[in-house]
Chains A and B, each alone.
Chain A
Amino acid sequence: MSTRNIIAVCVLALAFGAGAAHAQSAPSPAPKLGKPITENDIKDWDIAVLPNGNGLPAGQGTPQEGAKIFAEKCSACHGDSAKGGVAPFYPALVGGAPLTNGIETQKTIANYYAYATTIFDYIRRAMPFNGSRTLTDNETYALTAYILSLNKLIGENDVMDAKTLPQVKMPNRDNFILPYPDRI
């Protein structure tokens, strides 16, 4: 048997081997037991927000409106003006030292977050702690605006909505690097 033939046999063996493994891990035919639904059926669940604004609802809010809601529903844990509650469980949402201060530097919205949409997304899905999904979209925009304003990332009178929120410039955005780019 020539070297070329030996290689051919090996390649064939590998191909069949791989084929058998594939058949084992992905049985055919597919069971297809998923029930077809429409995006309209999922409307109330679809709360994911992307940094480009995709998924942000209608509505709007200002820092002043947010301040009132924050005092009523948020400051018990997060402290007055979001300066932080019982450390380390309820850290400050404002301020923050430069990240060059060390690996344990407290991450805040101003010194860390890459996108302002993250704040809206998280408040809408998870806050207040004992009442998630109780805030209206306007209240969520207002709280987001208030927190951004406390962090001096927007002005005191700036209105946050689906158009303005994705445009807020976040200081740390360009400071991130990917340790494993090939995994994306």
Chain B
Amino acid sequence: MGISKRRGRTPSLDAVAGNGLINRRALLGQGIALAGAMGVGGATGAAAEPLKDEAWSLEVGATTPPLQTPSRFEKEVVRALSNPKGEFRTSHARTPHQLLNGAITPNPLHFTIIHAGIPDIDPAQHKLVIHGMVKQPLEFTLETLSRYPLVTRTHFVECAGNSAGMFSNEPIQAPAGLIHGLVSCAEWTGVPLSVLLDEAGIDPAAKWLVAEGADAHFLDRSVPVKKAYDDAMVAIYQNGERLMPGNGYPMRLLLPGYQGNMNVKFLRRLKAVDQPSYTYFETKNYSQILPGGKTWRFHFLMEVKSFITYPSFGHHLKEPGFYAISGVAYSGTGRIAKVLVSADGGKSWGEAALQTPIHDKAFTRFVMPWRWDGQPAVLLSRAWDEAGNAQPLRADFVAQRGETKKPVATPLAFPNQHYNSITSWGVDSKGEVKHVYA
């Protein structure tokens, strides 16, 4: 604690911005810092009942299962479904960010979007072919891909329609997971796509790959060969185990930082071609209307973004005192360099602590110590990536990308795409948290 000695006082008590934000250096010496913060917040030292052994400690516990599932007390930690009855339409399942922490999304809670049901693929029968403008068309199986030297990298995958409700002209009241739940982050293991393309001998005139899945819609997207040779992989493991069925079992395309829909699941075919196919999804859903009526296509990139997961909508702060504001930041253009947090609606900002390691195109968890004084507060986060891109302020973003004319009725709607601006949570004097625009 060299800094505190030089300054001659406890760093935890340093206000770094308005409305109770504390210098993140307080987190370096957690014990002292937290004790100090609690003291100022009015720690409750009331006499407690003497501690007794609980029932679960006094009997032998449950039998060990082969596959662990979360505690029965965690039943509410599930994904929010858009189509629970499996009607003939797309099914979205959103990650409950308001109930999670860390930087890795557990596999059962990874978001999924499925357009024609989850295919029941036999991995021994599934095939991936590479053909088109190549010297030698090739066929791969899960077994042959598994024999390649595999690479492991941590990356977020985000639907281009994630946070679409934020285009609403009035703030949607919904938990962080319903608003921002179409992004998750996992450790993916697979074969670099460049290795497979080199093996097939791709024609230099081939600028695109049409990637196609083995689902009942044969979902396809055009992918620039440039991205394929940059950092794309055919992923066959997700957080150390085979892919979840909804995440593309047994193999998927992984294009770090690009629209989730391009990361084609159940990957069965890559056709090298000289022009994009203008598939349904790149033509309609994942192309967007700008204010004034022009339209963007081949947006691809999921731009720098962050949102606070705690405290967020639906949380209740029980008493004034110390809280650690926490959230995730990520960028399709690289590593997160900095996250600023405000507790006064953006009037003043303090720099949050970033949890390490900070991976390329991956969730970075940020933490900001905060002493809530019991008065209304508005919490914001804003991220920068290593390329210097800043998460846009809402006013600037809306000026460029627009907002709806009428309030959006449900967080399940998709009024537009590629929202990466700021999310603000308003804490009232009772400690209830609502979604606000600041």
Contact = CB atoms under 8 A, between A and B. Distances in A.
Interface of A: 25-27, 30-39, 41-42, 45-52, 54, 77, 88-90, 98-105, 107, 112-115, 117-118, 121-122, 125-126, 129-130, 132-133, 172, 175-180, 183-184
A100 B300 CA distance: 23
A130 B115 CA distance: 11
Given A34-B130, A118-B280, 17 more contacts: A33-B147, A34-B144, A36-B137, A49-B277, A51-B277, A52-B275, A89-B89, A98-B293, A102-B402, A107-B289, A118-B283, A121-B277, A126-B218, A129-B116, A176-B294, A176-B297, A184-B224
B405 interface: yes
A36 B293 contact: no
B403 A48 contact: no
Contacts of B88: 77, 129-130
A172 to B, nearest CB: 7
Given A34-B200, A51-B278, A175-B293, A184 B139 contact: no
A49 to B, nearest CB: 7
A43 to B, nearest CB: 10
Contacts of A114: 278, 283, 297
Contacts of B271: 46, 48
B199 A34 contact: yes
Nearest to A36: B136
B129 A37 contact: yes
Interface of B: 87-89, 115-116, 129-131, 136-140, 144-145, 147-149, 151, 167, 192, 194-196, 198-200, 207, 210, 212, 216-220, 224, 226-227, 268-269, 271, 273, 275-280, 283-284, 287-301, 401-405, 413, 415-416
A144 to B, nearest CB: 13
Q: Which of A39, A121, A132, A175 has the most CB of B within 10 A?
A: A121
A37 B278 contact: no
A184 B192 CA distance: 19
27 contacts: A33-B144, A34-B130, A34-B139, A35-B138, A37-B137, A38-B137, A41-B139, A47-B218, A48-B273, A49-B277, A54-B273, A88-B413, A89-B87, A98-B293, A102-B289, A104-B405, A104-B415, A112-B295, A117-B278, A118-B280, A122-B279, A133-B218, A177-B296, A178-B297, A179-B296, A183-B298, A184-B298
A26 B278 contact: no
B406 to A, nearest CB: 8
